[in-house]
Amino acid sequence: MLCQNCGEREARISITQIVNNLKTQIHLCHQCAQQSGHADSVSALQKMLAGMVDWGPQSIGKGKTCPGCGLSEIELRQRGRFGCGQCYQTWEPLVKTIIGRVQGRTTHTGKIPLSAGSRVRAQRELGELKDKLQTAVKEERFEDAARLRDRIRGLQGE
């Protein structure tokens, strides 16, 4: 899609504004976004997300870099974004921290697509049953724990 301002360059920034329940979208190239002051909003978002990370001395190993792109801890702090796909594995503890703070949890708990089949549903049910089993044992509800154990064994047998 071309920039709606200059019509020459590829639009890389999409800005959505809602004013009085009226939604407008603008698609701009980076240069036009900078000229209109909208590029600052994009960098502000990156800075906000980077600010959600605890950059304490324990958060990331000193001198650590991504083997894929060579992104260092200092560059990551400054840019607020990763350089390649391998960065997600290199900075995995950091990614989990960010996702946990933004979304509240790091595991999917929503609906399961029909295309995923019964295997995924059984795995999720198995995990839930194991959690309930641990809770029942802690609370010394041994009859409930025995029923949960039997259900877990039945699912594992399938």
**Domains of the chain by residue range:** 1-51, 54-107, 114-157
Q: Is the pTM of this model over 0.75?
A: no
Q: If you ran DSSP here, which 8-state letter would residue 83 be given? A: S
- pLDDT (0 to 100) of residue 53: 57
Q: For the chain, 158 residues long, give each residue's pLDDT as a single digit of tens.
A: 888 888 899 988 888 878 788 888 888 888 888 787 665 555 555 555 555 555 555 555 556 888 999 988 778 777 777 888 898 888 888 778 777 777 777 776 777 777 776 777 788 888 899 999 999 999 999 999 999 999 999 888 86
Architecture of the CATH domain 1-51: 2-Layer Sandwich (3.30)
- pLDDT (0 to 100) of residue 124: 82
State residue 6 phi and psi, 5-degree precision. -95, -25
Q: Is 91 in contact with 50 (CB distance < 8 Å)?
A: no
How many Å is the Cα radius of gyration of the chain? 24
- pLDDT (0 to 100) of residue 40: 57
Which contacts of 47-55 are long-range, i.e. CB under 8 A and separated by 24 or more positions? 47/80, 49/80, 49/98, 49/102, 50/77, 50/79, 50/80, 52/98, 52/101, 52/102, 53/94, 53/97, 53/98, 53/101, 54/97
